[in-house]
Amino acid sequence: MPPPLPLTTIQMIPLLIFLFSLPCFLSNGVHHPTKKQNPINKNSTVETNMDPLEQETLFKIMESMSSDRNWRVSNPYPCKPGSSWPGLECKTNNRDTHFHVIRLDFGSPPNPTCKKTATFPPQIFNLPYLESAFFFHCFTLTKTTLKIISTSSSTLQQLSLRSNQALVGPIPPQISSLKSLEILTLSQNQLQGKIPVEIFSLQSLIHLDLSYNSLVGTIPNQMGNLKNLLGLDLSYNSLCGSIPPTIGNLGLLQKLDLSSNALTGIVPETIEKLKLLALLALSNNRLKGKSFPQGITKLVSLQYLLIDGNSMFMSSLPNELGNLVKLQELRLGNSGYSGTIPTSLSHLTNLTTLSLENNRLTGEIPAGLSNLSHIYHLNLSRNMLSGVVPFNVGFLKRLGRNLDLSGNPKLCLNASSQIQQPPFNKKSDAAASPSRGFSLFSAT
C-alpha cells in the first residue's frame, strides 16, 4: 500500500506519522525525515514491500519447508531489514524499487530447520532474483526428487543440496537451464542414474561436487567443456568406464577427486596439462597401466596425490615422483608396485604422510626418508623390503604408532644401535610396550 505520490510538504507530516506506525517502515527513510528531498524519496516508502507474487512464492516455500514458526504471521515483511528472518537474504536492484530474495538457506540452525514432510521445493526456481540456495540435512525422511523448473533467465549462482538421505532419483537434464550456476554441490544424497550430459553445458561452473551418491554410468567426454572449473568431485559413486582424455582441457583445475568408483583403463596422458592441480585423488578404482602414469609426475603443483587401491599397476615407482616437491600426502598403497622405493622421495621435504603399504616393493628403505622432518605417518607394511631400518631413535619416537613396517619379514633393526630391540613375531608384546610405539613385526 504505497501512498500516492507526489506529496506537498504539508501533506508529508501526517503521512510520516502514519508511516511511523507501520511495522514495515524502513529505518532508511524514517530516521532522516527532515532530509531536504523534494519530492519525497520514493524508494524509502516502497522498499518495505516485495513484489506480491514473489512474496507469496516465498511464503509458500516457507510453509512447505519449515514449521519452526508461522512465517506469515511472525514475519509479514520477510525482507524488512533487521527483521531477522534467518536464512533469508534480500536485496534491492536498480530495475525496480522492490526487495528481492537472493539467498535461501535451510537445514542447520540458526537457519530454518526442515520439517519431516518437507520435499524439495521447485518453486525456488520461480524466485526471479535468487542467487543461492542451500539445503543441508533437510530432506531426511520423506522421499523427494530434484525437480527443476526451467526458466529462461535464471540468476542462480549457487545450488547446494548436501546430506539429504531422502533425496533420491536422477539429476534432471533441466539442470542445464541454470545458466548462471557457478557452484553446484549435490553431495551426500541418494541421487541415482547417470550424470546428465546437460550438466556439462553449464559453462560458468567453478565447482562441481556430486560425491557420495549412487550415480552410475560413465563420465562423459563433454566434461572437458567446463573450462572454468577449479574443483571437480565425483568420488564415492559407482561410475565406470575410463577417465575421459578431455580431462586435460580443464586447465584451471586445482582439485580432482574421482576416488571410490569403478573406473577402469589407464590414467590419460592429458592429465599432465593440469598444471595447477593441488589435489589428485583416484584411490579405490580399477585403474591399470603397464607403467606408472607418466603424466602424473609432471603435476608439480600437487600437494595431495592419492592413487592407492588400484591393484593393477604392475610397475615400479618412477624416480620422477621426487619432482613433486610440494607433496604433503602421497598414498600409493595396495596397488601392486614392484621394484625399490625411489630414493628421490627424500626430496619431498613437506611430506607428512607416505603410504606404500601392501605392494611388492623390494630392497632397502632409503636412508633419506629419515630426513623428512614433517613426516608423521609412514606405512611401508606388507612389502618385501629388506635390510636395516635406517631410522634413528628420534624418528621412531616422533612417529610412534604411525610408523608401520610390519609384514616385511626380511627387514631388521640395527641391534647395535640404541633402539631397544622388539621381540620378534610377537604381536601382543609389540602392542603392549609403550616405550616402542611403532609396529615392525606385528604382521609376521
Question: Which positions touch ligand NAG (CB under 6 A)?
Answer: 41-43, 92, 94, 325-326, 346, 350, 357-358, 367-368, 371, 379, 381-382, 388, 402, 404, 414, 416-417
Name beta bridge partners: 100: 91
CB of 344 to ligand NAG, least distance (A): 11
In this structure, are residues 168 and 140 in contact, taking their beta carbons and an 8 Å threshold?
no
CB of 400 to ligand NAG, least distance (A): 9
CB of 368 to ligand NAG, least distance (A): 4
Residue type, 27: S
CB of 437 to ligand NAG, least distance (A): 10
In this structure, are residues 178 and 196 in contact, taking their beta carbons and an 8 Å threshold?
no
How far is 187 from 161, CA to CA, in rounded Å? Answer: 7
Nearer CB in complex with ligand NAG: 61/324: 324
How far is 143 from 166, CA to CA, in rounded Å? Answer: 5
Concatenate the DSSP letters of all residues of 38-72 into one string. Answer: SS--HHHHHTT-B-HHHHHHHHHHHHHH--SS-HH
Nearer CB in complex with ligand NAG: 238/371: 371
Nearer CB in complex with ligand NAG: 222/343: 343
Nearer CB in complex with ligand NAG: 149/325: 325
Nearer CB in complex with ligand NAG: 222/386: 386
Cell numbers at 232, concatenated: 571437480
CB of 272 to ligand NAG, least distance (A): 19
Nearer CB in complex with ligand NAG: 2/86: 2
How far is 248 from 269, CA to CA, in rounded Å? Answer: 8
Nearer CB in complex with ligand NAG: 168/361: 361
CB of 239 to ligand NAG, least distance (A): 25
Q: Which of 186, 181, 182 is nearest to 215 (CA)?
A: 186
CB of 314 to ligand NAG, least distance (A): 18
Beta strands in 40-179 (DSSP E): 88-92, 99-106, 132-136, 144-145, 158-162, 164-169
